[in-house]
Amino acid sequence: MITLKSQREIEEMAKSGAILAGMHKGLREIIKPGISSWEIEKFARKYYKEQNAIAEQIGFEGYEYATCVSVNDEICHGFPRKKLILKDGDLIKVDTVVNYNGAMSDSCWSYVVGESTPEIDRLMEVTKNALYLGIEQAQVGNRIGDIGAAIEKYVEEENGYGDVREFIGHGIGPTMHESPNVPHYGEAGKGLRLREGMTITIEPMVNMGKRDVMMDDPNGWTARTADGSLSCQYEHTIAITKDGPKILTSQDPERDKDYLLK
């Protein structure tokens, strides 16, 4: 079911999103060579508790953690692990969902541990640009396919990376995952028409190599690139408004100034 949100509900989701964004910004000081990926989980849990927010992922379909921490060739749904020690040049994706007084927000961000490389920097830049190209298409009257087509063209045709198909964006609020599905590929002018009050996530996952996914992890959750290449992801929660798309999980008021609630 698709739920259309009131202005008040969107504003409440933005409060949730601000908490989530604050956690991500805090991770910039935490993620460094020599820590375990479990330290990310510990930080997120502590941060949310201090903000009187709920880590909504815990218990979702049996998932046990506040965060997904996916490293290098792990595309998504990696577990935070006490024995996984981060090293220089690792590419980390941290995905998490916050419930604040019943309002949901969902965002993934990518971080490089210690020193990066030009190849990693380019992958991160292309993935983030793909996210924002998708956001620009999230306009009242446009269709879901407009979002996916913009991302697919940029990622695959213009940059030669793999645009993952198996994992997609979705509606959000009042539950974590609801309709509509928001693929990061597709055909412009096709699919569900976007309406004022819809709230969705846009979350492209971009592989440095081919787009193929491998699901053979014993934990039953973690997806990896089939060719072992690096994967990157960025995600925002978006409100569709008459004034254009509004980012509810912004970490960068300057870059996002045209996409913020007034």
29 annotated as a binding-site residue: no
212 annotated as a binding-site residue: no
CB neighbour list of residue 171: distance below 8 Å, 6 or more residues apart: 2, 3, 177, 178, 179, 180, 182, 198, 199, 200, 201
Question: CA–CA distance from 116 to each of 61, 88, 89, 123 (Å)?
Answer: 35, 8, 5, 11
- What span, in angstroms and rounded, lies between the C-alpha atoms of 25 and 252? 10
184 annotated as a binding-site residue: no
DSSP states of 52-114 = T-EETTTTGGG---SEEEEETTEEE-PPP-TT-B--TT-EEEEEEEEEETTEEEEEEEEEE-S
Cis peptide bond upstream of 80, omega within 30: no
95 annotated as a binding-site residue: yes
235 annotated as a binding-site residue: yes
61 annotated as a binding-site residue: no
77 annotated as a binding-site residue: yes
- What span, in angstroms and rounded, lies between the C-alpha atoms of 143 and 76? 26
Q: Which residues are annotated as a binding site for a divalent metal cation?
A: 95, 106, 170, 203, 235
Q: Which residues are annotated as a binding site for substrate?
A: 77, 177
Q: Which residues are annotated as a binding site?
A: 77, 95, 106, 170, 177, 203, 235
